[in-house]
Amino acid sequence: MTQTTPLAQRIQQFYDTSSPLWERTWGEHMHHGFYGHDGRHRKDRRQAQIDLMEELLRWADVSSAQTILDVGCGIGGSTLYLAKKFDAQAVGITLSPVQAKRAGERAAEQGVALQAWENFDDTHEPAVQFQVTNALSTPFPDGSFDFIWSMESGEHMPDKQGFLRECYRLLKPGGTFLMATWCHRPTHTLAGPLTSSEQNHLDLLYDLYHLPYVISLNDYSDLATTVGFNNIKLADWSRQVEFFWQDVVRSAMDLNVVAGILQAGSETIRGTAAIALMTTGFNRGLIRYGILRGSK
């Protein structure tokens, strides 16, 4: 696979090959954890990942949902968690067929019904569907979901405005969109535009994680306003989540994990190298963890 391979295909292959190892080593959630508002609470990594979801829901004031879209669902960690928490019906979309298949197996293992989204009803029984669908162009009718959740998938989107526009289209009037995504630092402040050293740092990360580019949280806010979202709320939770990478590094020291990384092949080895870029990126204030809520 080279840089001339289309982005969606590179993302698909990255997650097809790395997801089984990630699940074995780090579990069903492929996202950061929450270590307290001061970032200092040390806790089990998986608990930190659950806490991040709960803190996000509280921050966004989401206490119920009936139909949910999980954009970039991985192996369905959040999809299943949210469907069960809210007795909701949820669709998870991903570019990776391996992830969609595994997510469906995990639903069956947890006794959550698999149900086609066309048949979602008002039963208040948790049900899920997982499918390979590009978030930039989905088959769902306008206003299909009352809650749209995007956990660390926005950074992969080559058309950020198109991504937000599609989420807005899919949201029911009165519904909530909640996203957590990797950003770069703001550039409208005294710090000014990104320096060439910062840009080089990001370019390496883009290459290793198959990201087209990231933007600042303020840029996301402007785009969200442009596509029609209202009631927009923003926060930078870099401090709250950055300890996650130290924990990932610690677990990657395990010999079995190293063997798994080597077995999974070059894509996963490259992805592992990116851990160092994330750690230093947070340290120098370049990489930021942005969260955004919007309503329709």
Ligand X SMILES: C[S@@+](CC[C@H](N)C(=O)[O-])C[C@H]1O[C@@H](n2cnc3c(N)ncnc32)[C@H](O)[C@@H]1O
> By the criterion CB under 6 A, which residues form the site for ligand X?
11, 15, 29-31, 72-74, 77-78, 93-96, 99, 134-136, 151-153, 156-157
Nearer to ligand X, 151 or 217 (CB): 151
Whole-number Å distance between alpha carbons of 174 and 245: 36
**Residue 292, φ and ψ in degrees, nearest 5:** -140, 135
CB of 165 to ligand X, least distance (A): 13
Of 285, 283, 284, 262, the C-alpha closest to 272 is 262
| In the block, residue with structure tokens 């039963």 | 123
Residue closer to ligand X, measured from CB, 171 or 192:
171
Give the residue with the Cβ less far from ligand X, 157 or 215: 157
The three-state secondary structure class of 69 is strand
Smallest gap from residue 15 Cβ to ligand X (A): 5
- How many CA atoms are closer than 13 Å to the CA of 60, on its beta-carbon side? 27
Residue 156 or residue 201: which is nearer to ligand X going by CB? 156
Q: Minimum CB separation from ligand X for residue 33, in Å?
A: 11
Of 103 and 224, which has the nearer Cβ to ligand X?
103
Least distance (Å) between residue 193 CB and ligand X: 27
CA angle, 36 as apex, 220 and 244 as ends, to 5°? 70
Nearest approach, Cβ of 94 to ligand X (angstroms)? Answer: 4
Whether residue 56 contacts residue 261, with contact meaning beta carbons closer than 8 Å, is answered with no
Long-range contacts of 253-262 (CB under 8 A, 24+ apart): 254/25, 257/21, 257/25, 260/21, 260/24, 260/25, 261/21
Q: How far is the CB of 274 from ligand X (least distance, A)?
A: 12
CA distance 220 to 230: 13
Q: Which CB sits closer to ligand X, 195 or 274?
A: 274
